[in-house]
Structure 1
Amino acid sequence: MDKIMTSTNLSDIYPDIFILEGLPGVEPSHVWISIILLIMYVLAMCGNPLMVLLIVSEPRLHNPMYYFLCSLFLTDIIMLNSIVPKMFCIFWLNQKEISFLSCYIQMFFVHCLSSLESGILMAMAFDRYMAICNPLHYISVLTNTLIMKIVLVLVIRSTVIVIPISWMSSRLPYCQSHIIPHSYCDHMAVAQLSCTDITIDNAYGLTVVLIVIVFDISCIAVSYYLILRAVFRLSTKNAKSKAFGTCSSHICTILMLYTLGLFSFVTYRIGNIAPYIHVIMSNIYLLIPPTLNPIIYGVRTQEIRTAAFHLFTPVAY
């Protein structure tokens, strides 16, 4: 009998499954929200693979800028498929259960890929600095080997700092509720279900966010300060316009990602905001950039437009 009680207690503390609520408090709107989600998912899953295909297949796009872009698009593809299929199960099929292990795997991918995307934007700022401030050494410095090393270091950084988040959360006792008021396994949404003190988990998660954001934004800011200083020294308006044009898409992506991330971060730390606002902001932060990145770069980058034209236009013989 004691063994049965012990087993029951353990299963209550370390449950086999969690329940994802989706958007708590606005369940009647799940169908309409899922339609918007479907449109975004289709756009993103058409745009991002297309961008990767163009970069891989077009020799003129085989340079450092587009290799970093390819990494960004691949990151967005993985991010989307880490969270969106489960959202469809919640909104369409009412299948809200997620296993204990799957929840923490999803948590790892969400936060790891978010950190990786920030790191890639930082690397792209360095790429733009080299292209504008040191154009004669651009290709010789940013070799394929160095690009691979940079991306590998960013992947390792993201993995190393995020693994403790998932690990510490998985060790928490969940003896109160197993219902997660979210549409995916976000770190704080899961940790707040624990029936023990989560100060250490909260502090570590906050530290990771601040380290990544402060370090990456600082590097980006320094890069663009040097870029602007070099651009304003150019003699002609045409040269200045061309230099700004090479950075405009990257600046749009940076502003979009960090602005949405800041709103998501702030709403989670404000106690008097409705729970569904937290969830909506988190979803917007993760879903809008993968949806709009291909559009931003496809519309604003001449080389990508030309590559797309060549890909879809039959060659006359």
Structure 2
Amino acid sequence: MSAQAVSSSQNYSPSIRMAVSFRLILALYLIIPLCVLLQLFDGWFWHNFLKENLPSNTGHFLLYQILFGTPHILASAILLCSHGDYFKLYKPRLFRMTLALAVVFGIGSLYLPYYALYAGVAAWTVLHVLKQQHGLARGVCRLPSPHFNLLLGLSVTAGLLIYIGIFLNARLTPDQVEWIKLAAGNLCVLLALVTWYSQRFAASAFGKWFLWSNTLLVLNSYYLFVQQYYFLAILGPRLVHDTTAYFFYVTHDYNRHHKQPQNWLYRQAKSWHVHCFLVLPALSFGLAFALQAYGDQLVNLITEHWFGVEIRKAVTLGLLGYFGLMHYYTESFTWKQDSPYRRYIAFGK
């Protein structure tokens, strides 16, 4: 999503009945104080139980992937592919991007260093996660472009360093970790100062809260990274981003199909007496569970039986990795002002 998706929210279909609530999105940021309280209580009362037993990242926590990580990516793909008009419009872009990913990660992986590929994917991930939330804040606060770009740039650069410090921690030397902490810390200070200066553009206290919430999302991750609570450090940004995106997908599909089903998926759901509000959540969460829990084993069983070849993580790394990267790509244009998606989205406090 982008700021354009907020600033021109009047161009929508008169059939709209559901709006994306900014207050509900802002409430998601309560994960920030919750994570800090968990970290403090763990040190005060629980003898570092969480620190020693939580996984190093959300990707190692199957329940998180089923609840937050994978469903919104699958929901995005289902929304795009189940609507023939959307798929037809964007099919050339999808084909070109699929070919580009095949070249980069197929042929390119034979020649490009591992760290170069990893840094590229990490930067794309952090940019995707933070740009969505900053875009929404920009729409609420009406930030000028220079301030928006500076806040986004500082957030993404600091977030990328934190991301690398967490996910490559075992491969980094102590000196490298300290350098990352120092560099990210200085960027966080600059981010806070720029946020304090930029808040004057927010016309309301609500806008200031939204602006500061995005900054605190990065500052909170940095604090928990330094405290070595890696799972909590990335839980906040992922939960806020994934759930915010899901609000958009469900709102879009409800507004498009609540009067009369417009595609095969919702016509089938109606014939089964499934309410249109439940279709996308049920399908995306169900697929997330099946693919995360059983996908790799099923593919490995088939390839071993028919070809005598063992393929590891064909689904969780290969298929879902592809969907994830395509999700980063498609989200950069499918919610822009001229997108047909926008006809079914409105905003409200």
Q: TM-score, normalised by structure 1?
A: 0.32
Structure number with larger C-alpha Rg: 1
Q: TM-score, normalised by structure 2?
A: 0.30
Q: Using CA pairs under 8 Å that are at least 6 residues apart, name the structure with larger relative contact order, 1 or 2.
A: 2
